Amino acid sequence: MGVIRAEPARMTDWAARSIGAAWRAFDLQLAAYAGLLAILGLVMAYTNSVEQGQAVLSGGTTFVRGLMWTGIALIAFVVTTAFDYKWLKTFAWPLYALQLGLLLATLAIGHGVGGASRWISVGPFDFQFSELAKILMIVVLSNYLGARQGRLGSLTSILGACVLVAPPWILVMLQPDLGTSLVMIGILAGMLFMSGASLRWLGSMAGLVLASLPIVWNYILRDYQKQRLLSFLDPSSDTQGAGYQLFQSQIAVGSGGLTGTGLTNGSQNQLNFLPVQESDFVAAIYLEELGFVGALVLLVLFAALLFRLMVAGWRSKDPFGMMFASGLASMILFQLVVNLGMVIGLMPITGIPLPFISHGGASLISLAVGLGIVQSINIRQTRAEW
């Protein structure tokens, strides 16, 4: 009888140790870096609210909405971390169908500026499902590429990944949303490279993309998108028209100096010279008010976050885990490089947000879901080692 009574106690102790060991694999550094970046995003939401002459804590301000979306993102992060990521592999194809359904619904009933269809209104909230579609695409590609480890030297496997990305990419282009469509290509390229796909075939495909640029210019890009590209090549040609945003952005960045003008003291923001300063061009206001020192802090945090994502991928014994971490890192890195390049004039204006910093609920929640999946991989990979 003594043995029978001791057995439940031993099982309880083993379960407690098992759970404790699993959650010790939770990457506190990854969560901390993401949290600090989200705090910087709230700081910029605050300064934008103040400089727009609003009472910061009144309803509907950029800061209050930012607090709300941050709270929802935190809940999404916790829930996704607790969720067993292995179910994502089981339901990868239904999730792919969900991704296409959300993008089709956006085209059918969505709204936007200038006839675009990018947001769907649900009560008082506007949702941009193309942000969530990026995370779902990483899930689908991780399942596809992870199942073909060792066979990605063949052109067939690489083309299969491209075929998976093509339908959502086309639907995003039809919205039209050039920025998100470019991010999807960046995710695909990064994941193929990290999967060990043949560099010879990847180089050939990159050459094919470059050769198709005249077709893209003549038959796919809208007139306003062409004007943005032309203004990038010659910013001084139309500083009051297509080149206005870039011109004002460069003034803001140049006036920041070493330490910046100080929070809420940016002239470009105060005088409302810079459009979409809370989202696409939030980096220009950030650099104006916090200067080179602020830029250095931002880049260090992003570098640390990307490093922890790659560590999670390297430690994963599951090819899906390695590919998902690589895909999320590719998405964040691509958006970081393009957005910062855009505000200083090194890249064309494409409307790609700066992760965590640009104001936008869908972007922040999607990042939280992606990071939660990575933490789920961290925890359950440790459990698989026992």
pLDDT at 239: 61
What pLDDT is attached to residue 87?
A: 92
Average of per-residue pLDDT across 14-26: 57
Per-residue pLDDT band for 303 (boundaries 50, 70, 90) equals very high
Q: Which residue has the higher pLDDT, 247 or 297?
A: 297
User: 42-51, 109-118, 129-138, 170-179: lowest mean pLDDT where?
Assistant: 109-118
Please say if the pLDDT value at position 197 is more than 90. Answer: no
Band of pLDDT at residue 371, cut at 50, 70 and 90: very high
Average pLDDT for the chain: 81
Query: What pLDDT score was predicted for residue 209?
Result: 79
Average the pLDDT over each of 32-41, 230-239, 370-379 and give the range with the smallest value.
230-239
Query: How does residue 24 score in pLDDT terms, banded at 50, 70 and 90?
Result: confident
Rounded CA-CA distance 306/300 in Å is 10
What mean pLDDT comes out for the span 333-338? 94
- Asked if 50 and 26 count as a contact pair (C-beta separation under 8 A), the reply is no
DSSP state of 354: P
Assess whether pLDDT exceeds 60 at residue 365.
yes
Give 106's contacts (C-beta < 8 A, 6+ positions apart): 117, 118, 119, 120, 129, 130, 171, 175
Is the Cα torsion angle 322, 323, 324, 325 positive or negative in sign? Answer: positive
Tell me which of 2-16, 119-133, 193-207 is least confident.
2-16
> Is pLDDT larger for residue 81 or for residue 64?
81
The confidence band for 276, taking pLDDT boundaries of 50, 70 and 90, is low
pLDDT digits (tens, 9 = 90+) for 88-140: 999 999 999 999 999 998 888 877 765 667 778 776 677 788 889 999 999 99
Cβ-contact 165, 210 below 8 angstroms? no
pLDDT of residue 215: 78
Whole-number pLDDT of residue 70: 93
> In a 10 Å sphere around its CB, with 0-12 CB exposed, 13-18 middle and 19+ buried, how is residue 215 labelled?
exposed
Confidence label for 1 from pLDDT (cuts 50, 70 and 90): very low
Query: Kind and range of the H or E element at 158?
Result: helix 155-173
Which has the minimum average pLDDT: 20-24, 41-45, 81-85? Answer: 20-24
Amino acid at 361: G
pTM of structure: 0.87
Predicted confidence band at 269 (pLDDT cuts at 50, 70, 90)?
A: low
Whole-number Å distance between alpha carbons of 50 and 265: 10
* Confidence band for 37, pLDDT divided at 50, 70 and 90: very high
